[in-house]
Chain A
């Protein structure tokens, strides 16, 4: 199985900050990488698909980048509603696998 590693399990930032969350795959995944946001109530939302495509309805302050084994999600101008846990997920090879999550908190 492809292991997805989010080395930062929690991150504290101030409102208005630019935040970058990283994700690394155990082998190349050819940009088949999605990002999700999970709120405290359990609600899950797709933010970014295929590394850098922003899902319809997602604010433009969210962006994604990366290639090969290393990927990142950037939130520019952090807002209160961005407080959540963020997960990367690869769909290059079955079984689809998720990173362990990065919990974003307000400083």
Chain B
């Protein structure tokens, strides 16, 4: 069974950076693109970017270039997303999601709250 287990809630200060994780299980981690999606409170879904753990190839939504950095550690089947220079606009739930004819598998989401 494919499972994506995300790290827990984060409270961060404006200007700081946060790094969240998405641990995959139940499939060959290096064979599928892992995507990240943002959802601000009461808002819709926004695609941030994707990484192919097999060779660390990445593709970003232009909007998030310089904001998000995607990495993956194959030995632990874990994908990471680091968000930098946090502002209130970065307060959101962030999902990792794996492709299979669409985003077929989703993590439970990581809530990031940016506040003083």
Residues on A close to B: CB < 8 A? Answer: 34, 36, 38, 42-46, 49-50, 53, 55, 87, 89, 91, 94-101
Indicate if B27 sits at the interface (CB-CB under 8 A).
Answer: no
Interface size, B (range): 20 to 34
CB distance from A23 to the nearest CB of B (A): 12
CB within 8 A of A96: which of B44, B47, B63, B106?
B47
Q: Report if A50-B47 is in contact (Cβ < 8 Å); known contacts: A42-B108, A42-B109.
A: no
Indicate if B97 sits at the interface (CB-CB under 8 A).
Answer: yes
- Rounded to whole angstroms, the CA-CA distance of A89 and B103 in the bound complex is 10
- Give the residues in chain A near B106, CB-CB below 8 Å: 43-45
Q: Judge whether B45 and A87 touch: CB under 8 Å.
A: yes
- Give the residues in chain B near A87, CB-CB below 8 Å: 44-45
- Rounded to whole angstroms, the CA-CA distance of A4 and B95 in the bound complex is 20
- Give the residues in chain A near B109, CB-CB below 8 Å: 42
**Which residue of the partner chain B has the closest CB to A47?**
B102
- Give the residues in chain B near A45, CB-CB below 8 Å: 106
